[in-house]
Amino acid sequence: MKYLDEYRDGDVAQKIVGEMRRIQTRPWVLMEVCGGQTHSIVKNGIDHLIPEGVELVHGPGCPVCVTPLEMIDKAHAIARRPNVIFCSFGDMLRVPGSEGDLFTIKSLGGDVRVVYSPLDCLKIARANPSKQVVFFAIGFETTAPANAMLAWQAHEQQVTNLSLLVSHVLVPPALEAILQADDNRVQGFLGPGHVCAVMGYREYEPISARYQVPIVVTGFEPIDILHGTLMTLQQLEEDRAVVENQYSRVLGPDGNGAAQKLVNRVFEVTDRKWRGIGMIPMSGFQLRDEFARQDAEKLFDVAEIATLEPEICISGQILRGIKKPHDCPAFGTLCTPQRPLGATMVSAEGACAAYYAYGRHLQPGKPLHQIASAETLGVPAGRGD
């Protein structure tokens, strides 16, 4: 497929990996920030292609994962109400709260609908004037413009039966929280391509300078990720620490001005709790007071719901790059996508769910390239061993 296959070329991949081997002098720990990147890494086996001393740890950029359990409980409390049509992106439906998931609520008669665009909710609200339509507005800066557009249009068009349950988070404060921790291992970041397509990457420059850490804004295809890894490696080996842009075919330094303007018009920055990590100051969006009539948290009186996470879960350490999914004794046994115990197993983009989906629980401790009888098909094994 055009514009995709070029970024999945095995020969190009081998060249990039060869260059990594050539320049690497010591082990490095890099973090890919986005869940989409994690998914692509595990799906394509990129972590088994790159040189042994380059470790990829998986970052906090999975919007469904970091949505706090109590916010999910609030969503479920609203979705259970008889007069509500609860709209959500698809992958939120399977995320369990304290009592079941949205699928369960649907099976018990709740009106739960998957939407592909937040603006679909406007149509649903108009078609069902006697119902309250609530959209679960979660995500990073990537989904903020579309969600802001929904609040804006509902407000401007005075659609009175439509509101948003907002749980928006921001990437830069999370990176700072990771870098500030005493046990931090991350030496360089593959920056979040889609987030930067909206926001640009200027706000990452002070972080890179302050913590002396390379940040390379990176795309999502295998070659993007390998290229971003190589660029980060080059900076580390040359003792440089700046923001660079691997994903220049999609974004520039300033991002999408029109989208930013709309987001700032509708949302304001607030403290947010991150599932698995905890409270990070000024790390999310909430609706401005002017949009109080679109704020489901206020309309439905669910602000008091508070829930704690199961203690066994190490997703906080996974989201900060301290541990890997298979370091957890519950991974793949007690904790599965059917019955997730914590943040990183709940969404397909979470590191634990990605490891599970691509079978990393089936042969723990044994690298895939060894069990894959890689030579059988005449394809060289990832590492030169």
Partner 1 sequence: MATKMVTKSAAVFGSCPLPIFDHQQIVLGHGSGGKLTADLIDQVFLPAFKNPILNKLDDQAVVTVGSSRLAFTTDSFVVTPIFFPGGDIGRLAVHGTVNDLAMSGARPLYLSAAFILEEGLAVDDLRRVVESMRAAAAEADVQFVTGDTKVVNRGKGDQVFITTTGIGVVEDGVNISADRARAGDQIILSGYIGDHGMAIMSQRENLEFEGAIVSDCASLHGLVASMLSTPSSRGKEFIHCLRDPTRGGAATTLNEIAKRSSVGMLLREQSIPVRESVRGACELLGLDPLYVANEGKLLAIVAPEMAPAVLRQMQQHPLGADAAIIGEVVTDHPGMVLMKTQIGGTRVLDVMFGEQLPRIC
Site for partner 1 in 112-151 (CB under 8 A): 114, 116, 138-140, 142-143
18 near partner 1 (CB under 8 A): no
Contacting range for partner 1; rule: CB under 8 A; set: 84-92, 162-170, 255-263, 289-297: 84-92
- Of 73 and 237, the one with the shorter C-beta distance to partner 1 is 73
| 37, 38, 44, 163: residue in contact with partner 1 (rule CB under 8 A) | 44
- Closest contact distance (angstroms) between CB of 209 and partner 1 is 28
CA distance 313 to 317: 9
- Of 132 and 347, the one with the shorter C-beta distance to partner 1 is 347
333 near partner 1 (CB under 8 A): yes
- Closest contact distance (angstroms) between CB of 147 and partner 1 is 11
| 28, 86, 89, 291: residue in contact with partner 1 (rule CB under 8 A) | 89
- Closest contact distance (angstroms) between CB of 371 and partner 1 is 5
Instruction: Provide the token pair at 342.
Output: 């914590």
| 28, 32, 33, 36: residue in contact with partner 1 (rule CB under 8 A) | 36
* Residues 53-72 interacting with partner 1 (rule: CB under 8 A): 63-64
- Closest contact distance (angstroms) between CB of 211 and partner 1 is 27
9 near partner 1 (CB under 8 A): yes
25 near partner 1 (CB under 8 A): no
CA distance 24 to 239: 12
341 near partner 1 (CB under 8 A): yes
C-alpha distance from residue 61 to each of 58, 311, 330 (Å): 8, 22, 22
| 166, 330, 346, 351: residue in contact with partner 1 (rule CB under 8 A) | 330
CA distance 219 to 8: 12
286 near partner 1 (CB under 8 A): no
| 104, 184, 234, 264: residue in contact with partner 1 (rule CB under 8 A) | 104
* Residues 147-206 interacting with partner 1 (rule: CB under 8 A): 194
- Of 28 and 355, the one with the shorter C-beta distance to partner 1 is 355
Look up tokens 């709209």; give the residue: 87
